[in-house]
Structure 1
Amino acid sequence: MKSPLLCCSAALEEWKCLEDEYQQLQETHRMYLQKLDEITKLQNSCSSSISSHRKRLQEVSLLVNKCSTGPAEEDAKTLDEIKEKIKTRPNAFFEMESYIPKKNGLYLSLVLGNVNVTLLSKQSKFAYKDEYEKFKLCLTVLLLLFSIICYFFVSYRFLDAILNFLLVWYYCTLTIRESVLITNGSRIKGWWVFHHYVSAFLSGVMLTWPDGILYKTFRNQFLAYSLYQSFVQCLQCYYQSGCLYRLRALGERHNMDLTVEGFQSWMWKGLTFLLPFLFFGHFWQLFNSLSLFRMAQLPDCKEWQVLMCGLCFLILFMGNFLTTVAVVRQKVKSRNQKPKSL
């Protein structure tokens, strides 16, 4: 055993090293705070510069449009080049702003308050996007298994309530995560964002539907629909992620683009086999809506959930069907125009 004198000497030596390390730590932290302050000032400066440049760009665009009648040949070429550059600037601003902290939208402000959700590095953005995709796939598989259990093996209202609660939590979580991703540069927008809000509301209404004759009448139809939707979403997640990876590698898609429950123009090559599955799911939503509207007309129907679920399914059908048809129509039209231009 060491003598008390040696132990005391070792303790003093260790403390001296620790004190030196602490001084170095304080200096490192001071530099960190200084750089953080510099970064904040740069962010504010960059944000105000983008805002100012955007306004001036609009003014220049108006001037260019006014000058477009009857200029000299040389000036006409220069004006055309300016027009092309003006068209590319919004995308450049979008990329810049995705790395600058900004105010949260209404939804994120209500849910999270004024917390800054902007991720400042590409690695952090990609990691969060990949985590979103993994969460989406894992929960979809879980919902698929749960739907199979409820449809084929167990018929308890309590388990149905757990399934509907999972659906509410899943869609609410997706809306929050998608809002964060949109803040960080993901280009998911339009109906594919809104339909998650409708789906969350629909699941919440199904959760509150009391057990009774009408609920039992619609139960198996809803569970079969949930099972099919989960299966199609698994199929989409698997194939869309592979297609997106390939398009990103070729530089044809943005690195923050996500998989969606519907059909987009970039899916045309290699993923058109998904269209029959999607259209079948859309018309199943219409069938659910019509079934619920017929049930709402029955004299024994006293639950408000019947009519509300019918309206939700109708909104989902109209939004999904019209958006998918619009994408397909636009893609077919652009393909038909290509040979003419050549």
Structure 2
Amino acid sequence: MDEEVCRMTELSKELQDSAASLISRSCNEEASLRQRALSLHTSISNLRSSISSSLKKGNLHPQHALKLEEELGRARYLLTQGDAAAFLPTKSHGRFLRMFIGPLNVRATRKDVQLKVKEEYNSFRDRTALLFLVFPLLLLGLRSWTWDGCLPALPVQLYQAWLLFLYTGLALRENILRVNGSDIRPWWIYHHYCAMAMALISMTWEIEKQPDCSQKQKGVQLFLYWAIMQGVAMLLQNRYQRQRLYTRIALGKAQRMDVVWGETSGVDGQLWLLCPILFILQGFEAYVGVLLLQTALVGVVSEWQVITCGILLIVMAAGNFVNTVQTLLTKSRFKAKMKKGKSKD
């Protein structure tokens, strides 16, 4: 028995030494690769600047310069989109990530880990889209059948607490995805910041203590109707965007870590369905915001929470509308450019 215990101790020490040696070698090799990647990235940038400068001075033929630019583009693509991209300097984590997790590095060096982060984000969106639809349906149903047309404060506050969790989770995941190389428009993250603030503020909004409960809760009811529409739109766009992203990856127009930015990234047939829904949603969101402001101005509900939530809803609706229109214009310009290129061929 004593010999067996001693043998286990020796084996544990050997394993510890081997693991420590492996970690030390890995750290040294990683540091060397980081230095090489940074040096190569700098050299490529300097060489591109030299080509542009030579072209302007007339020391380089335009056709030859274009060929050199294409070769450098391929080299830069391999460096920034391949496995070596993990050793380049990471994007700034931003204050939001630092506030929640501190100065930790969330950049994954292995592609399989990066893809797992993206798949988890997509799964989270799919799960929460269904809950986004179910919760307001349940609240409105109970309001009619059980609560005599007046929502109790606690269920609504629990729903707002869930919304706070949802938007915080989305914002955290999207910031981590950006650090790992995903292409996400900044507005969608800012939108989630606004939604987090609105959910937090609305939890402190007293909706029961008034003689006319239905009048005070009109904005809440409209918001729940909007949430139902938003849940349907989220389910549709999640499905369409995932299918479209797989198609773009297969065609070489997107990377595996990309998230289809915006809400209008489907194919043409899908856009004819999604765009009207999205514009109606944005208009209804702005309408709820205006209604809340009117409620405060006429003195029905004059709490600061009502005014702030109304302003946030209008800001989010305007931002969503502007970003959706910009996405559609970008797609139309890209399609026009493609058609022009085909006509020249």
TM-score by length of 2: 0.84
Aligned-pair CA distance for 1:64: 3.5
Provide the rounded CA distance (Å) in 2 between the counterparts of 1:55 and 1:80.
15
CA contact (8 A) 1:283 1:317 kept: yes
Does residue 64 of the first structure (1) align with residue 60 of the second (2)?
A: no
CA contact (8 A) 2:288 2:310 kept: yes
Aligned-pair CA distance for 1:47: 5.2
Change (3 A) 1:285 1:89: farther
Moved over 6 A (4+): none
1:244-255 to 2 correspondence within 5 Å?
Answer: 244-255=245-256
For residues 173-205 of structure 1, what are the alpha-carbon distances to aligned partners after superposition, in whole Å with 9 as ceiling and x for unaligned? 111111111111111123222211122122222
Change (3 A) 1:245 1:340: closer
Change (3 A) 1:193 1:54: farther
Aligned-pair CA distance for 1:258: 2.0
Point out where structure 1 has 5 or more consecutive residues left out of the alignment: 1-10
Does residue 168 of the first structure (1) align with residue 164 of the second (2)?
A: yes
Partner of 2:64: 78
Provide the rounded CA distance (Å) in 2 between the counterparts of 1:161 and 1:247.
41
1:231-270 to 2 correspondence within 5 Å?
Answer: 231-259=232-260, 262-264=263-265, 267-270=266-269
Count residues with an aligned counterpart.
Answer: 326
Task: Work out the percentage of aligned pairs sharing the same amino acid.
Answer: 22
Provide the rounded CA distance (Å) in 2 between the counterparts of 1:330 and 1:259.
14
What RMSD over aligned residues (CA atoms) do the two structures have, in Å?
A: 2.6
Change (3 A) 1:57 1:170: farther
Matched residue SS, 1:208: coil
Aligned-pair CA distance for 1:100: 4.4
Change (3 A) 1:182 1:321: same
Provide the rounded CA distance (Å) in 1 between the counterparts of 2:316 and 2:164.
16
TM-score by length of 1: 0.85
CA contact (8 A) 2:264 2:324 kept: yes
Does residue 285 of the first structure (1) align with residue 285 of the second (2)?
A: yes
Change (3 A) 1:162 1:42: same
Partner of 2:148: none
Partner of 1:4: none
Aligned-pair CA distance for 1:58: 5.7
Matched residue SS, 1:252: coil
Provide the rounded CA distance (Å) in 1 between the counterparts of 2:94 and 2:334.
34
Partner of 2:297: 297
Partner of 2:20: 30
> 234-243 or 278-287, which moves further after superposition?
234-243
Change (3 A) 1:225 1:51: same
1:83-98 to 2 correspondence within 5 Å?
Answer: 83-85=69-71, 91-92=77-78, 94-95=80-81, 96-98=84-86
Provide the rounded CA distance (Å) in 1 between the counterparts of 2:62 and 2:252.
32
Partner of 2:4: 14
Partner of 1:124: 113
